[in-house]
Amino acid sequence: MQPPICKPRSQSDLGFLKPLLSDSIKQLLAQYRRGRTHFSDFDSIFTRVLHDLPEPPLELVWFYSAIRFHSSKLDFQGDSVGLTSSFFQLLLSFPVSFSDSFSGAKRVALLSPLVYQLSRLVNTRRKDALSLVDDIVSYVSMYCVEDPGDEEDLLMVSGFSFSDLARVWIVDEVEEDCRVEDCLEIFMPFVSERLRQEMDSESCSVGYLAGIVASQVFLLSLWLRFDSELSRSELRKNLRESVLQMISEFHSCYFFDVILKMLLLEPCLHLTSLLGQEDEATLTEIVTEAVIESVEKLFLNSGNGTLERGLHLKNIAINWLFLFDNAMTSLRRNKDQEEISRYMNMFSDSRIPCHLINWVISQGEVISDADTLLDSTPASIIEWLVSLEEQGLRVFDCDHSKNYAKTVIHRSRPDLSLEATLVEQQEEFDQDADMADDQVVSSISILSSGTRKRKEERLDKEGETKGKLFKYRHNTKFQPFVFSDGLVNGTEVEVSDMEL
């Protein structure tokens, strides 16, 4: 399978593409269902169209590649691995022919139909699929980056529907009257319904689709790394290393945003049919923890960007707060005190509250309770952001995000401060110890002495906790925030130096 050689000419009006593609898709599907196996006439037409367009839109390239894919099936005589590998090479060759117009995000987005073919292959040819997925992971790692124009580069520039194109790929699995929603679910089985809806909208960007494609490659790669011969601890260790490595390599805000939304919007990662509920729950837990640990290092402390990218990062930070609160809620439900303490320490060391405070300052807001906010839990910061939204500042990117924030507030305990939570945990521990002493120790004098000792120890620990929090609070600097260009005049601002 080879693409046409492009000889760049002046860019043509793309208005003719929608009727051309609509009519061609209908004819191709009808002829394929009647048993036709070669489509040389379509190939000839679209080779000429691509030849005349130095910057072809993705939908045109996808349809042309579908023609080549279906025409090549007989040549591979049922060798699904060979067919998929050849298709991968075909998609890789398009950016070579159109090198000037294919950004990194566009190269990754182009792989969308390939991921669908992989989802069909993994069950029957697992070992071969793993080798192919590893090659794709390497390719995505090279190009899954944001380019300055990705925010404005819309996916369906001709106004064409992505779901209509999906029918060309899933023709072997669906009837002619398959609903749009069902078509997209089959075409993207590891993507949540809401994300599929966003992707099928006319405002979807190439960067966003690239993030969705990268997330599917990410999940497929993790599933293929489940080794039943390993112990549970070894399996968790290997998966965690793989998750952190791919998150680091897929250095794209779009990819990270999609993974965050998957974890927030769905109770699972849509891998139940492949993994089973128990293994999927394990993977979800591993991915959640890795995402929580990775967000700041990868996306919130690196260079300035466009205003659009700044808003994107702000939304990622808010979704990160949602995910962190979800994790804390789950740990409290399971009464896992050790993990609760570990997560709270993780949050107290995080600079995301500083970043969000800096973003609010950059919007012209005056903050009078910065010290309190820096000692907050995720839920209390979310409550603060909701109050700012209700006062007129546009904080959340959509009503769904704002409603999600209100749900977090509703389920949170009345006292949301980090310091109060730490102290209350210590008091609960002391109460449990007192109850145990009541059952064992009958001597009033011994009980009194033990109580005084515990109270003294508790006061010492409370003092130590407060001392650590005070040190953290007053040693924290507001770094220049990458959510927008030149926040707080582009300089570091001590908390105590701020005009409150």
- What 3-state class would DSSP assign to 154? strand
**Mean pLDDT, the chain, whole residue set:** 76
Note the pLDDT tens digit of each residue in 17-74: 888 888 999 999 999 999 988 888 899 999 888 888 777 888 889 999 999 999 998 8
**What pLDDT, on the 0 to 100 scale, is given for residue 217?**
94
**Between 23 and 442, the higher pLDDT residue:** 23
The H-or-E segment that residue 246 falls in is: helix 232-249
Is the pLDDT score of 275 beyond 90?
no
Element housing 243 (H / E): helix 232-249
pLDDT band, very low/low/confident/very high, at 450 (cuts 50, 70, 90): very low
User: Whole-model pTM?
Assistant: 0.77
pLDDT digits (tens, 9 = 90+) for 225-262: 887 778 888 989 999 999 999 988 887 888 988 999 88
Compute the distance between CA of residue 207 and CA of residue 105 in angstroms, rounded to an integer: 5
Q: If residue 388 lies in a helix (H) or strand (E), which one and from where to where?
A: helix 378-390
Q: Determine the longest span between alpha carbons in the chain, in angstroms.
A: 99
186-189: long-range pairs with CB below 8 Å, 24+: 187/116, 188/112, 188/115, 188/116, 188/212, 188/216, 189/119, 189/270, 189/273
Q: Tell me: the pLDDT tens digits for 60-115? A: 899 999 999 999 988 888 888 999 999 999 999 887 777 666 788 889 999 999 99
* Geometric angle at alpha carbon 291, from 426 and 400, rounded to 5°: 95
Q: Write the CB contacts of 44 (distance below 8 Å, at least 6 apart in sequence).
A: none
Do residues 87 and 64 touch, judged by C-beta distance below 8 A?
A: no
Sorted by sequence, the CB contacts under 8 Å of residue 474 that are 6+ apart come out as: 495, 496
- What's the pLDDT at 126? 82
pLDDT in tens, 116-150: 999 888 878 888 888 899 999 999 999 876 554 44
- The dihedral of CA 459, 461, 463, 465: what is its sign? negative
User: Looking at 202-206, 344-348, 386-390, 393-397, which range is the least confident one?
Assistant: 202-206
